[in-house]
Structures are given as structure tokens and as C-alpha cells.
Copies of this chain bind each other. A is one copy, B any other.
């Protein structure tokens, strides 16, 4: 693991997600840019001192020197955005598979370079757009793919949060500090941090691509340097229209990612904060409530990402763990020289990451543009 030392949020999430299924073992790490802190973090996690490295360079070099059956099999990157590319590049070049937090990189240039590196190296690369790991998201995707709703006409994807309603970054809060700092976050704030999740979710569920956008990007908190709110009109490749809005100044909202999709015959509604329910609305019959692990026509893709019976709620960590589990299934199959079970090969890839970076680039450009539509 690279990053995720004491006090980090997403590092602990990655570790719990990786541990849940007993498929992945944390064996070493470079948990902080401060070597002392890195080692201290590793010790707290129960790692042997010799595998708590001071830097990711040291980690990759040292691990590569170990016997294949003793070394790490993959690198998990859980650093801020500006530190995704260097360890990812080095890991891929040294023959390690990579699972990396989103967005893919600091900028488009890095993103394209990574895409090329993944292609050339042939290594497995997963990006933790974790919200696509939810069983009901997979059910929604399959229903649309199999034509249940007919041609898709309209998509509304929302991601309101409220935690940056004040200048929390001024208080030194670590999560707020790097996310609002252009030197660590890149050109976008909320649009990169959560807007890309919304973009990814919309394209994943509908199977469509956003082709044009028209964005209204704002900074509401005085003194902030990156966007904390954005409203975006969407055009999709098939003619569907849509709206994406994401915000970190919707005071009183927690982590309210949600999506509605409407086709000719009906619509779908999914809300991350009650993730085990998928509402399916029909033109000519009553709304149906699909449920994680529930009765009725659940696709194998939904069932394969459910661990416990219906009514035993699964949450964020389980969805996150689905990304890790599938990544592990694919890595293990590769190590064993066989094909993985196709039901467990579904995770966001470097290509999703490139699309996310393009979304960031274009949505910020559109926000500054006076003409209406910007092509993606």
C-alpha cells in the first residue's frame, strides 16, 4: 500500500475492503511521505519492520528483489491525486498489478501516460470507482443492457455533500486541505473528487457515453481556490439528455450520490445512502422495489456481488470490497495462468480513469466558456 498512514480516511477504507473476503493480505507499505510516519503506521498495522518502507520507490525495489512467492503481488495506491502517477508508473514498470484510488491522475497527460503503460505492461489495473461495486448498481446496468427500459431518454445523476460548506481547510482538516489545494488535487475540486464518481456511475449504469456538456461551475466559500459546486447539462451518444450536479456546499447533505434513468418504458432510481434498494418504475404497472439479495429477477451480476441474505444491509465497505475482490480474483487467475470467472472481472479500469480525467478537463473548460456546449 502506498499512502493511508495514520489519520488518513481512504487508506483505512481500502484496508477494510481488502480484508473483508480473506482474499488479500496486507504485506507491506509506504504509508506516508514522511518515512518515520510510514514506519510507525506500518507497525500499528502489525507489519514486520522490514516491510514498512520509507518511500514507495524503496518498497517497489525491495519487494521486487524478494522471491516471487514472498513478494507483494499488487500495489494499492491511496494517496492524494498528485501522487497517483509516480507509484503507479513505477509499479507497472516493475511488474506489479495496481489498484488505485480515483481520479486516475493529477492531469490528462498523466492519465494518458498511465493508459499507455497499462497497455504496454499488460498488468492488471483497477480504479476504485467504488460505487459501481454495489449489487443494485449492477442490477440497474444489466436491466438497461437487456432492454427493460427501452431506449434511454433522460439521466439525472446527483452528488450533493455539505461538508465543505465552510472553509474547513483553514482549520487544517487533512481531507479538506488537499482536496481544495490545486497543487495536490489538480484543476478541479468537487468536480474531480465527486463529480467523476457521478460521471462514472451514469456511464456505467446506462452503458452510454456523455458526448457534450454545458457546465456552470462555482466556488461558494470565500477564499477557496477550487470549485465546490457544479451544475452540468449532459448530452449522451444515443440522444439522451441529462443533468449532473455535484456539490460540497449542500449544507446538511451527507454523501447523497443518486441516479435516475428514464427510458421509453420505465425508469430506475438508486440512492447510495440506501444502496440495497433499486426502484423500478413502469409506464403501465406499479413501481417495483428490487432489493439486494432479494426475490425476483436479479441478474447473476447482481447476485455475485452480494454476500448475505436480503434484509441484512450491505454498505459502502462491501461495495468497495467488491472492487478489491474482483481485482484479487483476476490477479489470482493471472498468477495461476487461467481465466478468471467472468462474473468477477467487473471493476473500473484505466479506461474509466481516462474518461474521468477528460470529464474533469472538459467540465472545468465548459465552466469558463461562454459558448453552450463543449464536446467530451
Contacts and interface: CB of A to CB of B under 8 A. Distances in A.
Given A20-B20, A153-B229, A371-B372, A255 B286 contact: no
Interface in A114-172: 149, 153-154, 156, 158, 160-163, 165-166
A16 B315 CA distance: 14
A342 interface: no
Contacts of A338: none
Contact of A286 (B46, B289, B313, B373): B289
A159 to B, nearest CB: 11
Given A229-B241, A288-B288, A308 B317 contact: yes
A20 B21 CA distance: 8
A282 interface: yes
B308 A316 contact: yes
Contact of A295 (B216, B276, B284, B372): B284
Contacts of A255: 309-312
Contacts of A218: 241
A214 B233 contact: yes
A370 interface: yes
A353 interface: no
Interface in A297-324: 297, 307-318
Interface in A194-233: 214, 216, 218, 220, 229, 231, 233
Residue from A161, A229, A286, A289 having most chain B Cβ neighbours under 10 A: A286
Copies held by the complex: 4
Interface stretch (A7-15, A84-92, A356-364): A7-15
A305 to B, nearest CB: 14
A68 interface: no
Interface string A260-279: 10111111000011111000
A81 to B, nearest CB: 19
A251 B166 contact: no
A337 interface: no
A27 interface: no
Contact of A252 (B165, B166, B266, B314): B266
6 contacts: A165-B283, A214-B214, A254-B311, A275-B313, A286-B289, A314-B315
Q: Which 4 pairs between the two chains have the least Cβ-Cβ distance?
A: A252-B281, A254-B311, A255-B311, A313-B315
Given A308-B317, A315-B317, 6 more contacts: A9-B308, A166-B283, A216-B241, A252-B262, A313-B313, A372-B372
